[in-house]
């Protein structure tokens, strides 16, 4: 009886202790350095990849017309508001002419006055002409009378001198007339200049376009060259894209692109590379390119909006291809962990182009069909024990 009760107790004790020991062994083998590292594996496949290039740019207008005065002055009026469409030749605003109108009036008066001066000079010419022809007649008459000795030599000399005087005053009157005409022409030209200056104060749209900015309002003083109104050509929108220089080989004019505007995230606009700028940005280490829309969005994006541009490059010939997560650098060498009969071997490789989905071309080092570790729970070493699983812990399907 007693024997049985002891046994029953012993069983109870064993029932507690044995599972505890089993659990300890399980724990020791499943965690810590003795546990195998869960990894996922993939088979190297031979396929062609189409690399793509990703860049960020801003929407810009190809042509921006900054319209402002050519001389410093105060703005009298601005006729347009931002967002309005304007036609070529349309008046956008006007600068204050200050005294320009008065100066034109003064020139008008001066012109009239010089007209009178011309008339007076003409009259003087006629007068001197009359006196000259009378003096000439008198002189020739006295010369004939002298031949028949009807007058004294002195009287003839007097007439001759009179003729010379009238000739000189005629020449002076002619010169006066010339000067008066020249003066008229000068005043005329000056007046024309002032009128042109006056016209220059009118701010005229050079092309049909959209008013993008109105930088100053009436009453503001602006200097020469400062823009009052900015007009853009909405049909000429393009995207100034910046690509990291690391991957830009192969970027060229005409490649198709996909454009995503920051404001319209779900929509992809088609476009193409218009040109790759010959000047790269040396500071930011980026290559610049201009990208245009195949068809402009119905609602035009504002100038300066951020856009993501993905350039599709042409597909490359088939090579062994791996996900970039499988490529690691161990002891300074780039390579992958090959799985050979449940053992790991680090195979150094040379990589080629990558695409945006993370596939890497393997130029050298492994062949299609080999098994390679992609993801691992911990960093791997050549002596790591691994367990190949479908998906690692903590990663949702």
- Which residues make up the interface to another protein (CB under 8 A)? 6, 9-10, 12-13, 16-17, 20-21, 23-24, 27-28, 31-34, 54-56, 221-223, 225-227, 243-244, 246-247, 283-284, 308, 323-325, 327-329, 332, 334, 351, 354-358, 360, 374-380, 391-392, 394-396
Q: How far is the CB of 256 from another protein (least distance, A)?
A: 18
* Tokens coding 262: 């920051």
304 vs 332 by CB, closer to another protein: 332
- CB-nearer residue toward another protein: 42 or 138: 42
DSSP annotation string for 91-153: EEEEE--TTHHHHHHHHHHHHHHHHHHHHHHHHHHHHHHHHHHHHHHHHHHHHHHHHTT-S-H
Q: Which is nearer to another protein, 88 or 388 (CB)?
A: 388
CB of 7 to another protein, least distance (A): 9
Closest approach, Cβ 396 to another protein, in A, equals: 6
Tokens of 326: 């499988």
Nearer to another protein, 306 or 368 (CB): 306
Return the number of the residue (235 or 388) whose C-beta is nearest another protein: 388
Residue 101 CB, shortest distance to another protein, in Å, is: 25
Q: Minimum CB separation from another protein for residue 262, in Å?
A: 9
Contact 43, 369 (CB under 8 A): yes
Q: Report the b/e string of 108-132 with b at 16+ CB within 10 A.
A: eebbeebeebbeebbebbeebeebb
Label the pairing between strands 37-43 and 386-388.
parallel
Q: What is the C-alpha separation between 345 and 335, in angstroms, rounded?
A: 10
What is the closest distance, in whole angstroms, from the C-beta atom of residue 225 to another protein in the complex? Answer: 7
Nearer to another protein (CB atom), residue 252 or residue 391: 391
The backbone torsions φ and ψ at residue 236, rounded to the nearest 5 degrees and listed phi first, read -105, 25
């Amino acid at each position: 009886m007693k024997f049985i009760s002891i046994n029953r107790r012993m069983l109870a004790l064993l029932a507690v202790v044995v599972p505890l020991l089993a659990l300890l062994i399980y724990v020791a083998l499943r965690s810590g350095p003795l546990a195998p590292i869960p990894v996922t594996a993939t088979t190297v496949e031979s396929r062609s990849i189409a690399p793509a290039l990703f860049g960020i740019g801003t929407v810009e207008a190809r042509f921006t017309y900054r319209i402002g005065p050519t001389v410093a002055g105060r703005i009298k009026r601005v006729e347009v508001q931002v967002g309005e469409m304007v036609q070529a030749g349309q008046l956008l605003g006007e600068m204050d002419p200050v005294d320009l109108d008065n100066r034109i009036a003064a020139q008008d008066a001066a012109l009239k006055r010089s007209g009178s001066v011309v008339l007076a000079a003409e009259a003087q010419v006629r007068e001197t002409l009359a006196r000259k022809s009378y003096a000439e007649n008198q002189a020739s008459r006295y010369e004939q009378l002298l031949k028949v000795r009807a007058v004294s030599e002195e009287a003839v000399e007097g007439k001759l001198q009179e003729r010379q005087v009238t000739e000189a005053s005629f020449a002076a009157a002619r010169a006066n007339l010339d000067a008066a005409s020249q003066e008229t022409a000068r005043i005329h030209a000056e007046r024309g200049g002032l009128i042109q200056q006056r016209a220059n104060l009118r701010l005229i749209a050079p092309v049909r376009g959209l008013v993008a900015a109105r930088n100053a309002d009436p009453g503001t003083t602006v200097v020469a060259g400062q823009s009052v109104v900015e007009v853009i050509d909405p049909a000429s929108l393009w995207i100034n894209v910046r690509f990291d220089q690391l991957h830009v080989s192969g970027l060229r004019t005409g490649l198709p692109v996909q454009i995503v505007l920051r404001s319209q995230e779900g929509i992809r606009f088609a476009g193409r590379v218009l040109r790759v700028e010959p000047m790269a940005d040396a500071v930011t280490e980026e290559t610049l390119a201009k990208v245009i829309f195949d068809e402009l969005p119905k609602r035009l994006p504002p100038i300066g909006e951020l856009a993501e541009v993905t350039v599709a490059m042409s597909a490359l010939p088939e090579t062994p291809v791996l996900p970039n997560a499988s490529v690691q650098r161990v002891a300074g060498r780039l390579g992958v962990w090959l799985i050979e009969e449940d053992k790991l071997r680090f195979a150094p490789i040379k990589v080629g182009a990558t695409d945006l989905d993370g596939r890497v071309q393997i130029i050298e080092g492994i062949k299609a069909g080999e098994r390679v570790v992609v993801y691992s729970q911990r960093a791997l070493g050549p002596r790591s024990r691994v367990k190949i699983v479908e998906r690692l812990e903590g990663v949702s399907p």
